[in-house]
Amino acid sequence: MSTAADTTTHTSTDRTGARTEEAADVIAGARERIDTLDDRIIGLVQERMAISAVIQEARIASGGRRVNLSREMDVLGHYRDALGKPGTSLAMTLLELCRGRI
């Protein structure tokens, strides 16, 4: 059974979890910035994947292996040093995305 409350439009405080309109406005603005950053990050990851494919193609064409494990260890260390332990997980995900597209 539907009630009047069921058809009420959600307010910005409902959508953000904030308890005041001022906080909801801050959260909404920050979320927009995060969404923009996420779009940029996705674009950069896609660019990284394309560049990685070029590297892999060149390595394979020269008789080498598709993956260079010492390079991957450098990448893991770089992300770990910059972001701590979660950086290692992020780097692993990036490396996984960038491997084997050939």
Residues 14-70 have pLDDT tens digits of: 888 888 999 999 999 999 999 999 999 999 999 999 999 999 999 999 999 989 999
Q: What total of structural domains would you count in the chain?
A: 1
Q: Please state, as a whole number, how many other Cβ atoms lie within 10 Å of the Cβ of residue 55.
A: 13
Is 70 a domain residue? Answer: yes
Helix (H, G, I), strand (E, B) or coil at 58: helix
pLDDT band at 102 (very low <50, low <70, confident <90, very high): very low
Helix (H, G, I), strand (E, B) or coil at 102: coil
Determine how many CB atoms are found less than 10 A away from the CB of residue 79.
21
CATH of the domain at 91: 1.20.59.10
What are the pLDDT digits (tens) for 68-78?
999 999 999 99
pLDDT on residue 49: 96
Cα(68)–Cα(38) distance, integer angstroms:
28
pLDDT at 4 over 80: no
